[in-house]
Structure 1
Amino acid sequence: MSSTTRRNVTNFQLDRRNFMRGAGVVMGLPWLEAMMSSTSFAAAPTAAVPTRMAFVFFANGAIMKDWTVKGEGKDFELSKTLSSLAPVKDDCLFLSGLTHDKARANGDGGGDHARNSASFLTASQPRKTGGADIQVGISVDQVAAQKIGTQTHLPSLEIGIEGGRQAGVCDSGYSCAYQSNIAWRSPNQPVAKEINPKLAFERLFGMSLTDVKKSQDRDFYRTSILDAVSEDASKLSGRLGKTDRQKLDEYFTSVREIEQRIGRAAPQKRQLPPEFEIPQGVPADVDAHIPLMYDILTLAFQTDSTRVATFMLANGGSNRTYSHLNVKGAHHQLSHHRDEADKVADLQKIDQYLAKEFARFVQKLKTIPEGEGTLLDHSMILYGSGISDANRHRHEDLPIVIAGKASGKLQTGRHLVYEKETPMANLYLSMLDRMGTPIDAFGDSTGRLTNL
C-alpha cells in the first residue's frame, strides 16, 4: 500500500458488519480502509476482506463449437461466444470436460431440462414426480450458506429473471419445482428466487414485513432509500478519510442509479396520483432486467450483505424470446435445431448475448476496489449450464467459466481440460474448500479437482 493511501486512513475504526439505519432500512457498507487498523496493513492486508461465491445459470446449453476455447493452459484463445470476456480473460478460468451425470435419464426417461436445473448445483438425481414428494439434494450454495450465512445480513441471495411454479408438472412428469429452482435448502425444499428488482433491492437493504408501511410512506420511486439513512451517512462520512469518503460517495451514486433504473424499468406508467398504490412487477424488457439484477448482485457483494448467491438467467427449458437480438423463434425450440444453420446461428446469438451480459458484470466487479485488490479478486463466480448440446440433450463437457481469484485461491487466466466424465461435483468440493466451508463429499463427487 502506498504512503499516499496510508495518509488517508484515520484513527477511526469501523467494523465490516456496521450498518447505516433509518426508516426501516438497514444499509450495508462497501469495504473501506477504516475497516482495518493502521498496524494491520503490513501483517494481513486482506484480513478483513471475505471471499464470495455465486452461481449464474443459463438454460438450454450452448452451441459448443462456438463456445469452446482453443488451446490449453495459459496458451488459449477465446471463442466467438466468449469473446466479450477478453478484457477479463486473465481473471477467469475456462473449464472443459466436466459432467453432470445426474442430469441424465439414468432410467427415468424424458425430462432433461428439469433434471438440468435440478441437478445443476445439487449433483443429485431428482425424483421423477409431479407431486409433493419432490427430492433431489441440498445445493452447493446452501452448504456454504449454512456454514457462513450467520456472518452476513442475508445467509444467501437467490435472484432470477423468469417466474416459476413450485407445484404441478412441467417437463415429462417432473415437478415444476425442478425447472424453477437451482438452490435447494434441503432435498425437498427449494429456495425460491426473487425476480422483481424492487423486492430484491429492498430485501438487500433490510426491508421486512413489518417495514411495508414505512416503505409505502417513503414511496420507493419518489424518495431514495439513501434519504432514509442520510443522518447515519452524514455522521459516518465526517469521520472518514478522504479516500473512504470518495468510495462512499461512489457507492451512494451506484445505489441511487439502480433505484432510478428500477423505476424506469417497472412496467407501469410513472405519472400516478399520490394515493395510487404502485403495483409490483418485473421489467418487460429482458435487456433491462438482466443487467439490473446483476447490479443488485454486485451491491450484495460490495456491501457484504451476503457472500453466497445464485442467479437464474432463465428456468430450465426456458422458451423465452429474444426479439431485441433479431432472433426468430423461442429459446427452447431453437435449442432443438437439428443442425439447421439458421437456427444454430440464432441460438449462438443468444449464447453470445448472455455471455456479454456476464462479462459486463465481471468487469464491473473488477472496477470496485477492495482491500489491496478488487471485488472480483475476492469473488468466485461460476457461469454455466447443466446441458452442453441441448439438441441432443448432452450433459458432458459442460460450458463452464469461473470468474474471480477467490482471494488468491484460484490461478486464473487458463483453460483447464479435465478427463472425460469428471463430475461437476468435484469442482463444487473445491469451491467449498476455497470458501472455508469444506465437506468430505458432495452429490456424485469422486474427489476434488486438481490444478485450480
Structure 2
Amino acid sequence: MNPTSTSLTRRRFLRASGLSLALPMLPSLAGSARAAAETEAAAEATRLCYVYVPNGVNMKHWRPEGEGADFTFNRSTKSLEPFRDSMRFITGLEHREAYIHNDGAGDHARAHASFLTAARPHKTSGADIHVGVSADQLVAQQIGSQTRLPSLELSCDGVRTSGECDSGYSCAYQYNLAWADEQTPVAPESNPRLVFERLFGEGSHGERAANFARRQTKQESVIDFLRDEAEFLNRSLGSDDRRKVDEYLTGIREIETRIEKTERFGMPVDPDYATPAGIPDSYREHIRLMMDVMALALASNTTRVSTLMLAHDGSNRSFKEIEIGDGHHDLSHHKKDEERLEKIAKIDTFYCEQLAYLLATMKSHQFGNQTTLLDNTLLVYGSGLCDGDRHNHDDLPIIFAGGGAKGIKNGTHQRLAASTPMANLHLELINRMGVAKDEFGDSTSQFPLA
C-alpha cells in the first residue's frame, strides 16, 4: 500500500455541511493512537447549553396539549415535532427570586438575571451589582481546563455591562446570562465573525492554521519583551511602584498561561465553513449563524459549555421577517387583546423555528461512536417570564433537549408540582456535567430528569 494513503489528514474529509468537526480521528488518518483516544473521549463528553428567549410567550398556543408521552404539539411549537423523541416540555418551574418582594418594578431585569443564577439581583444602576454565579459558569470553572475555552457566551443582541436599564436596575443584569461570580458578568459576543475567528482563527479554510501560528509567535515575542522590561525596571523602584509592577507581571503571567493552554491543545480545528462576514441584517440569519458557530464549538470540543441569548428580556425588537412591525415588549403588554396575542404567538413560532434549526444542526453532527452532538448535549431553552403582561415568573416556558447518549429518555410533557424551583433543574444539570453539588441557588432537590 502506498504509505501516503494511510497518512492523510482529516482536512481531506471535511464537508461543508458541518459534519467536518464530527469526523472521528482514526489512527490511520491521524497517525496517532493518542489522538484517536482523545477524539473518542471528546465525542463521549457531555456538553451543557442554554438558549434564552425574552418576554414570555402566549401560552394558549405554546403549551402542548396532554401530558406524559401522550401529548401533541401546539401551534407555536409545531416546528419542533420532528425532534419529539429528543426533547421534552417542562411545566411548573418557577424563579421565585425574580418576583417583586420589596424591590418594586424591574421584572425584566430580575427575570434575566435570575435565569441561570437562581439568585436575586441587588437593585442598583451603579457599580455595586450583585447576583450570583450562574449554573453554566459553575460548571465551566470546574471542567473548563479540559478544553481550549472554558465556556462560550453568545448574544444576538447588544452587549452592555453598565448603565441603567429596567426601572433602576443595571443593564448588566439584563444583557448578561453568565456570571463568573456575584459581581462579574461574563459579557457575550454578538458578532459571529469575531466569535468564529476567536474559535478557529482568521482567514479562509486552509489558511487559519498558519495565521494562528503566526499570531501565537508574535504574542510570545511581545510577552517575553514586556516581562523582561518589567523585571529590569522593578529592581530600581520603590515598594509602591514594585507592587504595581508585580500586578502588571501577574497579568502577563495570566496571558502566558492562556498561551501555554493553547499550545497544549495544539492548533484549533479548521472547519470547512466560511468565516461569517459580520452581523447580518436579517435577525433570522444572525440567530442561525450564532447557532452554527456554537454547534461547531461544541462539536469540536473547543468548549463544553455555552449560552446563547436571542434577545435581552424587555427587548422591543420588531420582526420584519414575519411582517410584525410592533415591538416585542410593547406587544407583550397585551391586556388580553386578541390581535396582540396573535402577534405574540407568531413571534413564539419564529423563535421555536430557530430552536428547531439548532436541534437539526446538532443532530447532523455525527460522532464515531454512532451518537450525535445532540445526544451528548444537555440543552435548555426558555424564558424567565411566563406571560409578559402579568410579569409572572412561575409556570415558565421551558424545553429540555438532548442527553440521549446519557440515559435521558425524552418525548414527554413533564408536568411538575406548581412552583418547583428552576434551580432544581440547574442542580441536576450541574451534577450531570460531573460537578458534585448538593444545592444551587434556591434549589430544594435535584430535578427528576431520566
Does the alignment reach a TM-score above 0.5? Answer: yes
Q: Alpha-carbon deviation of 1:415?
A: 1.1
Q: Give the match's secondary structure for 2:361.
A: helix
Matches of 1:360 and 1:129 in 2, distance apart? 38
1:69 maps onto 2:64 in alignment: yes
1:339 maps onto 2:336 in alignment: yes
Q: Give the match's secondary structure for 1:89.
A: helix
Of the three residues 345, 348, 352, the one matched with 1:351 is 348
Counterpart contact for 2:430–2:437, Cα < 8 Å: yes
Name the counterpart of 1:329.
326
In the alignment, residue 418 of structure 1 is paired with which amino acid?
L
Of the three residues 434, 445, 450, the one matched with 2:448 is 450
Residue deviations 1:37-57, cap 9 Å, x none? 99xx9xxx8785211110000
1:229 maps onto 2:209 in alignment: yes
Name the counterpart of 1:113.
108
1:363 maps onto 2:355 in alignment: no
Residue deviations 1:67-124, cap 9 Å, x none? 1111121111111111111111100021100001111112111000000110000000
Of the three residues 269, 278, 294, the one matched with 2:291 is 294
- The structure with the greater share of residues assigned to helix is 2
Matches of 2:409 and 2:115 in 1, distance apart? 24
Matches of 1:294 and 1:63 in 2, distance apart? 24
Q: Give the match's secondary structure for 1:296.
A: helix
Counterpart contact for 1:164–1:315, Cα < 8 Å: no
Name the counterpart of 2:184.
189
1:165 maps onto 2:145 in alignment: no
Q: Alpha-carbon deviation of 1:168?
A: 1.3
Matches of 2:141 and 2:7 in 1, distance apart? 33
Of the three residues 417, 426, 429, the one matched with 1:428 is 426
Of the three residues 70, 92, 99, the one matched with 1:97 is 92
Q: Alpha-carbon deviation of 1:30?
A: 3.4
Matches of 2:399 and 2:441 in 1, distance apart? 20
Counterpart contact for 1:258–1:295, Cα < 8 Å: no
Name the counterpart of 1:413.
411
In the alignment, residue 98 of structure 1 is paired with which amino acid?
L
Counterpart contact for 2:51–2:381, Cα < 8 Å: yes
Q: What aligned pairs does 1:144-293 form with structure 2 within 5 A after superposition?
A: 144-205=139-200, 207=201, 215=202, 220=203, 224-229=204-209, 255-259=271-275, 262-263=276-277, 266=278, 282-293=279-290
In the alignment, residue 206 of structure 2 is paired with which amino acid?
L
Q: Give the match's secondary structure for 1:373.
A: coil
Greater radius of gyration (CA): 2
Name the counterpart of 2:388.
390
The structure-2 alpha-carbon separation of the partners of 1:203 and 1:89, relative to structure 1 and needing over 3 Å to count, comes to same
Q: Alpha-carbon deviation of 1:403?
A: 1.2
In the alignment, residue 115 of structure 2 is paired with which amino acid?
F
Name the counterpart of 2:402.
404
Q: Alpha-carbon deviation of 1:165?
A: 2.2
1:34 maps onto 2:26 in alignment: yes
Name the counterpart of 1:236.
none
Structure 1 segments unaligned to the other structure (5+ residues): 1-9, 20-27, 208-214, 233-250, 267-281
Q: What aligned pairs does 1:305-316 form with structure 2 within 5 A after superposition?
A: 305-316=302-313
Identity of aligned residues (%): 42
Q: Give the match's secondary structure for 2:406.
A: coil
Name the counterpart of 2:74.
79
Matches of 1:445 and 1:35 in 2, distance apart? 45
Residue deviations 1:136-167, cap 9 Å, x none? 00000001000100000100000001113211
Structure 2 segments unaligned to the other structure (5+ residues): 12-19, 213-268
Residue deviations 1:256-287, cap 9 Å, x none? 4442xx23xx4xxxxxxxxxxxxxxx222212
Q: Give the match's secondary structure for 1:444.
A: coil
Matches of 1:435 and 1:426 in 2, distance apart? 14
Counterpart contact for 1:87–1:363, Cα < 8 Å: no
Q: Alpha-carbon deviation of 1:225?
A: 3.9
Of the three residues 126, 143, 159, the one matched with 1:131 is 126
Counterpart contact for 1:13–1:34, Cα < 8 Å: no
Matches of 1:416 and 1:200 in 2, distance apart? 35
Matches of 2:43 and 2:312 in 1, distance apart? 36
Residue deviations 1:178-197, cap 9 Å, x none? 00101000000000000001
Matches of 2:401 and 2:89 in 1, distance apart? 9
Name the counterpart of 1:242.
none
Question: 4+ residue stretches of structure 1 with deviation over 4 A?
Answer: 10-14, 35-38, 45-48
Q: Alpha-carbon deviation of 1:229?
A: 3.2
Matches of 1:35 and 1:161 in 2, distance apart? 39
Matches of 2:49 and 2:126 in 1, distance apart? 30
In the alignment, residue 320 of structure 2 is paired with which amino acid?
S
**Equivalent residues, number:** 375
Counterpart contact for 2:86–2:404, Cα < 8 Å: no
Q: Alpha-carbon deviation of 1:359?
A: 0.5
Matches of 2:274 and 2:104 in 1, distance apart? 44
Counterpart contact for 1:31–1:303, Cα < 8 Å: no
CA RMSD of aligned residues (A): 2.8
Moved more, 61-70 or 28-37: 28-37
Counterpart contact for 1:409–1:434, Cα < 8 Å: no
Matches of 1:420 and 1:411 in 2, distance apart? 23
In the alignment, residue 136 of structure 1 is paired with which amino acid?
V
The structure-2 alpha-carbon separation of the partners of 1:178 and 1:47, relative to structure 1 and needing over 3 Å to count, comes to closer
